[in-house]
Each structure stands twice: as C-alpha cells, then as structure tokens.
Chains A and B, each alone.
Chain A
C-alpha cells in the first residue's frame, strides 16, 4: 500500500488533471456535437452531407491518430497550442461525433406527430424547437450522452503519453518505483476512474428521473 499512501498527493493531482481534460474536451465536444447534429438534421442537403462526412470520419478514426495529428501535425503547420489544448482539441473533435449521433437519435426519436401538432397550432420553427422538440429530446439523449462522457473520461488516459501528468501517468511512474506493488497501484488508480464513471452514471440517472417526472 506504500505506493499509494506515500504518493496520494501525486495521485490526487493526477485525477485533478484528468477531470480538467474531461471538462475541457467535454465542453468542446458538446459545442461541436450540437453543431454537427443541427447540420445532420437540417433541410439543406449540403449541410446534411457535411455533417454525415464529419461523423463518419471522426467516429471511425482512432483517437490516438488524432492525437498524433494535433501533437505532431499541427506544429508542422505553425499551429502550436499547449499540451492541454492539443488533447482537448483531439478529444473534442473525436467525442463531438458521438455527441452529434446521440443528439440526432434523440431528436429523431420524437414522434413526428408532436411537431406536426405544434406546427398546426401555428408555432414558429423556433417555438416548435424550444417548446416541444428539444425538451423531449434532451430526455432521450441523457443515457447515450452519459455513455459518451464516460468513454471520454477513460479516453483522457491517453494523455499520459502526450505530456500531461494525469492519473495514468502517475500509475506508470509508481509502477516503476514500486515494482512489487503493481496490482495495488493498478487497483487504486482504477478505483479513481470507477468513481468518476459511476458519478457520471449517477448524475445521468438523476437527470433522467427528474425530467421523466416533468412529463
């Protein structure tokens, strides 16, 4: 247990960095995802196509290769943000595709009759969206979005090989210093991730329950 008890401050600091990455990349993914989802459901074919291409490319790309592009490719083009932003950019672009898919399936899950009814009541497009469609689709998208953010949490571990001293970086360091305690170190760090993952699951379940009650 020495490895974890003697270095709890480093481990904790690692998880703080993990959470920072999660927040940054998650926020960017939400912005991109919403935009792309709007593209994908838009009546304009060009926009729909653009959205589809975006989702197809980023869902099928390995995140690691995207990191290679932001870390080694962008500097070759004279674009060189800090490590944090490079991770956030790669993970935000990647996760955005999954967010977009969750949102789109949420919107498409609304029965057509709902929108038709609101339009026949004379609602404008904006009213139909904000009053009728979006509130219902939010509820639909909570579970898949939670999965996406859980996945993102775990994906931030890749930053350990990309210059950010987050939780997995700390595990590697401790592994070398306390070779006999590898199992304990692994379980300890894994537990930290499990806690974050379960917290997101729990939060999502709460939101879902609340919105269901409003129905």
Chain B
C-alpha cells in the first residue's frame, strides 16, 4: 500500500521508521481510548448483565426485536420497490420531449429532494389522521417520495450514460420511442445503475429508523419499548446500532459484488467491443455522482458506494 501517492513518496528507511513509531503511538492511544471507554462503561454499571444486557438474550425480547427487524425490512423493501417505480416514471418524465411532462416531473423531483424526509413522513401521517396503524404506511410513503426522487436522478443519469449511438441505431432500425427506451436504453442503463440503486437501499434502510418519531413498527420503536422498561438506554441503542450496521454492511458487500460481477471486461459482453468496459466504468461513476448530488440527505446523507 505504501507506494507513492499524490500526498507522499514511497517511504525510505527513515520514513518507514518514523511511520512505525507513529503507528505504535497510535496503537497505544487506541488501546488507552478503549480502556477509558470500558472503564467509564464499567464504572457506570453499563456492563452488567442483569437489567442491562439480559433482555437481549431473553427469548421473549429477542422475539420482539426479530419482529421489529422484520417490520423494518418490510418497510425498506416496500419503500425501495415503490421508489423504483416512482423513480422510473419521473426519471423518464424528466427526459420527456414534451414540456408539459418534463417540467412538472422536474418540479416534483426537485421538491421532494429538497424537503427533509422527516417532514414528508410527519405530513403523510397527518394526512392519514395520525392513526397508529397508518404510521407504517406514512413511513413508507415518505421513503418512497424521497428515495424515488433520488432514483429519478439516477435513472436520468443512467439513461444519459448509454452511448448516444445506441438510441440512434435503434431509431434507424425503425423502433418507436417506447421501444427504444424499453428494449435498448433501459436494459443497458440498469446495469450501469445497479450499484447506485443498492447504495440507495442502504440510505432507505437507515431512514426506516425515522419510524420512531411517528411510532411506526420497526427496530427503533421496539428499542424504545425495551429501554422504557429497563432504562438500559445505552445498551439498547448499541444493539440497534449493531443490527443496522450488520445489515448495511451486508448490503454494501452485495453492492460491491454486483459491481464486480457486472463490471465490463471479463464477462461475455457484446457491447464491450474494445473500449466500452472503461467507458462503462466511467458512466457508472457519473451515475453515482448524480445519485450523491441528488441525495440531498433524508436522515441518510448520501451514503454512497465507497470509491
């Protein structure tokens, strides 16, 4: 790893010695930090089993956490599916030749991207008369509006990233506009967009935690039930954190896997005559950049793919 980079040359023997020294100091500092953290936790009774960590290994509580997790995943899946439909519609809408379609699409997408997700969720819930049963749908509705608007940007950029010649060739063959979009542009664009779509899944999943605010069923709401009973706030929050981290890292890993699997080059790739592999990689970077620019947050500040 320690090759020459933009920041520093390949280290010589003296530099190496210095790096090792800094490394050793850093390790000591980290150990000291860990010690302090553990000590503070211990001194404040946060490492005790009974009443702090016990609920998380008690079957009844594991069961409700599992139910909460299922609800969270359910919300995330509905949200992503809905957002995909919404994103395709409005992404294509933004590319439409008709001004009457293009402008409203642009306005809708721009608006829902700029408004805090929490505001969308609270508003949706207010429209549903704030019924406890409806909280789940309000959460999903908010997530769809926000993530769909981000995905609309992704679709737009993805379709634009398909080389122009493709559409021209399709038109030359006498295809209709819808055919060009459906059978030529979309299939190629989806491949380019897939990693960005998965990154957006991570954002949506993290944002399901906002259900907490409107008492929608899910992990954070279950967490509230547990800490309300045991006052084990820190332990509960850490367990929630761990669950979210594990799922998100799995998703992230899936995203990289998809990227590797579908990145041009090794596969039998009809379009990859010569340079297209590289071109596609660049197109993918552009799509991801569009997604990140579009991810005007929600609770998830554009958790993009790691570049």
User: Do A and B touch, yes or no (CB under 8 Å, in the complex)?
Assistant: yes
- Please determine whether B240 and A65 come into contact, CB atoms closer than 8 angstroms: yes
Taking residues whose C-beta sits less than 8 angstroms from the other chain, chain A's interface range is: 35 or more
Q: Give B103-145 as 1s and 0s: 1 = Cβ < 8 Å from A's Cβ atoms.
A: 0000000010011111100110011000000000000000000
**Distance to closest chain B CB from A62 (angstroms):** 4
**Nearest chain B residue, comparing its CB with the CB of A191:** B115
A105 in complex: contacting residue of B44, B115, B301, B307, CB < 8 Å: B307
**Distance to closest chain A CB from B245 (angstroms):** 5
- Please determine whether B118 and A168 come into contact, CB atoms closer than 8 angstroms: yes
- Please determine whether B119 and A193 come into contact, CB atoms closer than 8 angstroms: yes
B119 in complex: contacting residue of A43, A143, A144, A186, CB < 8 Å: A186
Q: Which of A62-105 contact B (CB under 8 A)?
A: 62-66, 68-69, 72-78, 94-95, 98, 101, 105
Q: Is B50 an interface residue (CB 8 A)?
A: no
Q: Is B220 an interface residue (CB 8 A)?
A: yes
Q: Is A141 an interface residue (CB 8 A)?
A: no
Give every chain B residue within 8 A of A133 (Cβ-Cβ).
6-7
Q: Is B258 an interface residue (CB 8 A)?
A: no
What is the number of residues of chain B that contact chain A, defined by CB distance less than 8 Å? 68
- Please determine whether A158 and B299 come into contact, CB atoms closer than 8 angstroms: yes
CA distance A77 to B220 in the complex (A): 21
A155 in complex: contacting residue of B2, B212, B245, B299, CB < 8 Å: B299
Q: Determine, out of A2-10, A45-53, A207-215, the stretch whose residues face the partner at the interface.
A: A45-53
**Distance to closest chain A CB from B124 (angstroms):** 10
- Please determine whether B126 and A144 come into contact, CB atoms closer than 8 angstroms: no
- Please determine whether A77 and B44 come into contact, CB atoms closer than 8 angstroms: yes
Given the interface pairs A46-B23, A65-B237, the reply to whether A198 lies near B11 with Cβ below 8 Å is: no
B206 in complex: contacting residue of A62, A110, A157, A172, CB < 8 Å: A62
Q: Is B68 an interface residue (CB 8 A)?
A: no
Give every chain A residue within 8 A of B26 (Cβ-Cβ).
44, 46-47, 50
Q: Determine, out of B54-62, B161-169, B270-278, B290-298, the stretch whose residues face the partner at the interface.
A: B290-298
- Please determine whether B244 and A62 come into contact, CB atoms closer than 8 angstroms: yes
- Please determine whether B297 and A153 come into contact, CB atoms closer than 8 angstroms: yes
**Distance to closest chain A CB from B244 (angstroms):** 5
- Please determine whether A194 and B114 come into contact, CB atoms closer than 8 angstroms: yes
Q: Which of B1-59 contact A (CB under 8 A)?
A: 1-2, 4-9, 11, 15, 19, 22-23, 26-27, 30, 40-41, 44, 46
Q: Is B303 an interface residue (CB 8 A)?
A: yes
Q: Is A57 an interface residue (CB 8 A)?
A: yes
Most buried by A among B116, B122, B236, B296: B116
Q: Is B69 an interface residue (CB 8 A)?
A: no
CA distance A200 to B71 in the complex (A): 36
- 4 other contacts beyond A60-B202, A157-B117, with CB at 8 A cut-off? A41-B7, A61-B206, A112-B5, A151-B301
- The 5 residue pairs across chains A and B that have the minimum distance between CB atoms: A151-B297, A72-B233, A151-B301, A73-B234, A62-B209
Listed by A's residue number, 28 A-B pairs whose Cβ atoms lie within 8 Å are: A45-B23, A46-B26, A50-B30, A60-B249, A61-B241, A63-B300, A64-B220, A65-B240, A65-B241, A69-B238, A73-B237, A75-B233, A77-B41, A94-B301, A107-B6, A115-B6, A125-B8, A129-B7, A147-B293, A147-B295, A147-B302, A151-B295, A151-B298, A154-B114, A154-B298, A157-B116, A158-B213, A198-B114
